Amino acid sequence: MNLLLIRLIIFAVLFFAGLKLYRMYREWKLDREGPQQAGDAEGNRMVRCSWCQVHLPEDDALRERGDWFCSSDHRDKYLAERKDEKKDAQQEEKKQEKDD
């Protein structure tokens, strides 16, 4: 009789421990699998526009190469400025070559 009770308790403990582990595993998996699915589970995550620094829900934001933007307009401006920076750097390099 006592043995049966102990077995029942052990089974119950194992069951709840397994359940908890499973939930932890699911959360961990959602975190790893990307913000889209996790966002659906937890509601909207907030991200910041790389151009105007405004915060907005991930669902309304645009993503480009790891950066977030509030609109395609800001995305284009940001990318254009980055390109210009690259161009300027290249031109400076060329200038230096000429100076030598």
Q: Interface residues with Zn ion (CB under 5 A)?
A: 49, 51-52, 70, 74
Q: Which of 84, 90, 55 has the alpha carbon at shortest distance from 70?
A: 55
Q: Which CB atom, from 30 or from 79, has the smaller least distance to Zn ion?
A: 79
Can you give the length of the chain in residues?
100
User: From the CB of 34, what's the least distance to Zn ion, in Å?
Assistant: 22
Rounded least distance, CB 97 to Zn ion, Å: 38
Distance CA 33, CA 35 (A): 7
Q: Closest CB to Zn ion among 29 and 45?
A: 45
